[in-house]
Amino acid sequence: MQRVAFVPQFAAMKIEPGKRVSVNYSLYADGPEKELIEETRKDDPMQFTFGEDPMLPKFEAALLGLEAGDTFTIAIPAAEAYGDEQEALFIEYPKSTFIEEGELDEELFQEGEIIPLESPEGDIIEGVVCEVKLNSIVLDFNHPLAGEDLLFEGEVLSVE
């Protein structure tokens, strides 16, 4: 009698709610130049629990049903990503707001610097210096990708 080793065949696990997903991707601002914004590496992929961790809904919807080894290209218009820039989120503060221990840190007042502030509820919110005036600064509290159409290109590394 010949013995044959039994090797169970498992169906590939598909992405669905509650599954732990690992993806590698490149994120582009989908303008004419297709500017690279962010990139993960296979040795440091993005990992999340599908349907539980905060993700862009259109990103998750496009991944639903994919399995390890599948590649993806996901275009998300600004309105379905982080929305358009809102003028109301550009807020001007007097420089005196930022005096700590009697001193004003002038290095904070460089365009592009990120300044953490505490909300009345105690949450830390970050504003980006977008304009420096004589006695005030204007901070931008929009999401950094507000107003950008996004393009994700990547691969599903694992589904558990």
CATH of the domain at 127: 2.40.10.330
The boundaries of the domain holding residue 70 are 20-83+146-159
Indicate left, alpha or beta for 111 from its phi (over 0: left) and psi (-120 to 50: alpha): beta
pLDDT for residue 148 is more than 90: yes
CATH of the domain at 55: 3.10.50.40
Distance, CA of 121 to CA of 131 (rounded, Å):
26
pLDDT tens by residue, 87-141 = 999 999 998 888 878 777 777 788 999 988 888 899 899 999 999 999 999 999 9
**Domain count along the chain:** 2
Distance, CA of 131 to CA of 111 (rounded, Å):
6
Residue 40 within a domain: yes
